[in-house]
Amino acid sequence: MFKVLPEVLEAFPGLRVGTVVVKGIDNRGACPEIWHLIRKAQEDIRSRFDHESLIHHAKIQSWRRAFISFGAKPKRHRSSVENLYVMTLDGRDLRPINKIVDIYNYISLKYMVPVGGDDLAKVDGDIVLRFARGNEVFMPLGSDEVHTAREGEVIYADQNEVLCRRWNWRESEKTKMTEQSQDVLLVSEGLPPVGGEEMEEIVKDLSQLVHKYCGGEVASSVLSAGECECDL
């Protein structure tokens, strides 16, 4: 089960979380078509934004306010989508990782929303979006050092540890998706001005791309205050 706890929905009115659960993907090999889409998206971003206009965009501002609300400093702890856009404006091209990660990075660039994911074979129990108690352990992606979540920050966690800190700032090494991943959960996150219709479009686009390039059986949903959990 994937759950967004009511206290998170109460603290962030209008939050919508799009979920795409895919079983039986083939994540092996490269996909030039995805990389063409990513390159075009980065070119478009560079033509429309500079660093100053990016910071003041409503979609970026909503995440900056959210991070400030639980004690994160936006200059030090950027949302995942702001980080992708800053990398792009700094002239850095995204590098290939694997098909499923490349697809969700493209969707993040296209719609200017955070997108992430987990390998479900590596998850213990349910995945919950909640506030940290301050005693949860976390191993950052690409590291073997164990950290502890800060009390009050928003986290994704399973029954044993944190899967993503400061909402979408840093993913964990534990559930990273690789070419061997077969069953995955992808999550897209929208704070106002992202509304229900846009999140439905994001989830549909993400689902279609994953099915086209990775195969598998796809189930999707958009969670909000009216419906805050789905099956994995």
> What does the block give as tokens for 73?
């400093």
CA distance 3 to 117: 14
Please state, in angstroms and as integers, the Cα–Cα distance from residue 100 to each residue in 85, 163, 167, 201, 215, following that order: 19, 17, 20, 18, 11
Write the single-letter amino acid at 132: A
Q: Is the pLDDT of residue 224 over 90?
A: yes
**DSSP string computed for 101-150:** HHHHHHHHHHHT--EEEEEGGG--S-EEEEE--S--EE-BTT----EEPP
CA distance 196 to 9: 14
Q: At what angle do helices 32-48 and 80-89 cross, to 10 degrees?
A: 80
User: pTM for this structure?
Assistant: 0.97
Range(s) of the domain holding residue 148: 2-230
CATH code of 123's domain: 3.50.40.10
> What domain count does the chain have?
1
| pLDDT grade for 68, boundaries at 50, 70 and 90 | very high
What sign has the CA pseudo-torsion 150, 156, 159, 162? Answer: negative
Contact by Cβ (8 Å): 62, 52 = no
State pLDDT tens for residues 35-60.
Answer: 999 999 999 999 999 999 999 999 99
Task: Give the 3-state secondary structure of residue 5.
Answer: coil
State pLDDT tens for residues 143-202.
Answer: 888 999 999 999 999 999 999 999 999 999 999 999 999 999 999 999 999 999 999 999
CA distance 212 to 161: 32
User: Which pLDDT score is estimated for 75?
Assistant: 86
Q: Is the pLDDT of residue 211 over 90?
A: yes
Quickly count helices (H) and strands (E) in the chain: 7, 12
User: Which pLDDT score is estimated for 152?
Assistant: 97
| pLDDT grade for 209, boundaries at 50, 70 and 90 | very high
Contact by Cβ (8 Å): 126, 158 = yes
